[in-house]
Amino acid sequence: MPLPRSRMSEIRTIAFIGLGVMGGPMAGHLARAGYAVTGYNRTASRAESWAANLSTEGLDVATAPTPAKAAEGKEVVMTCVGNDTDLDQVLLGPDGALSAMAQGALLIDHTTVSAAMARRVDGEAAKRGIAAVDAPVSGGQAGAETGALAVMCGGSEPAVERARAVMQAFAARIVHVGPAGAGQTTKMANQMCIAGTLAGLSEAIRLAQASGLDLDAVRQAISGGAAQSWQMDNRWDTMAAGEFDFGFAVDWMRKDLGYALEEARGLGLSAPVTALVDQFYSEIQAMGGARQDTSALIRRLPQGKKDT
């Protein structure tokens, strides 16, 4: 449902670069909110399918052959790609979006990248008179599809406030956490928390299974106390059942944890739990689970047997 006019910004035209499992739904919410959205995806067929599906709803969408063509004349350019290299390509490479953006435009990057990359993009944008916000998201594919993402923003206060008016189309929570790069550092903290939680949850489920306990009763008992978490509420049953098809892949978690460990080293910090869980995820990759959801971490633990 389109946003009430009172909640929409004065911005009308948006380019959205990266139409994968996260970016595609996010760009769709923007179109449904009344923005004119031009999409670009490196796999052109995905962009064409995205546009065709939204066009059946009578929405104002189009596609472009390059990031630069998508960005031409747009008030806002939003990106949601894979990693530092991908972002460098679509923004700063040949036919990159920044080269086509007008002075005074706004760049919002939803990719999870390194803090150093976010600061580099901010600097390159500033040279062109473009405001930039690093705005990684949390909530996974389900959050993107339902428009309930949490967004952590780095950048200047004016830039974040301009971005907020647009991002409310797909976000349930938008928090300005600091200057350029701060959004990415906050996302690293987010991923460290998720990884540690899933490691503990995996061991707890296996303990309950090996003890012959009623898993539903155990979850009900402990989810009402200090052990409660989003992962427990949403992944306990599926982890126990061996179901791991929920969108955020182990490969992507390892990429994110790599950024977190790199940032920690640069700050002179130790992150032993994160480093250990990262290695656990490498075992899941070796087991063929690279594209499974991060809750597949439980696969590395045998179920064990209850003593009789």
- Residues with Cβ within 8 Å of 159's Cβ and at least 6 positions away in sequence, in order, are 106, 131, 132, 133
Q: What DSSP assignment string belongs to 175-227?
A: EEEESTTHHHHHHHHHHHHHHHHHHHHHHHHHHHHHTT--HHHHHHHHTTTTT
Distance, CA of 143 to CA of 117 (rounded, Å): 25
- Residues with Cβ within 8 Å of 203's Cβ and at least 6 positions away in sequence, in order, are 301
Q: Which of 69, 74, 127, 187 is catalytic?
A: 187
Bridging pattern class, strands 137-138 and 149-154:
antiparallel
255 is catalytic: no
Q: Beta partners for 63? A: 39
Cα-based angle 148, 149, 151 (whole degrees, multiple of 5): 140
* Alpha-carbon distances, residue 27 vs 161, 163, 235, 247, 268 (angstroms): 19, 14, 27, 17, 38
What are the structure tokens assigned to 58, written together? 């009578």
Distance, CA of 155 to CA of 306 (rounded, Å): 54
Residues annotated catalytic, as ranges: 187
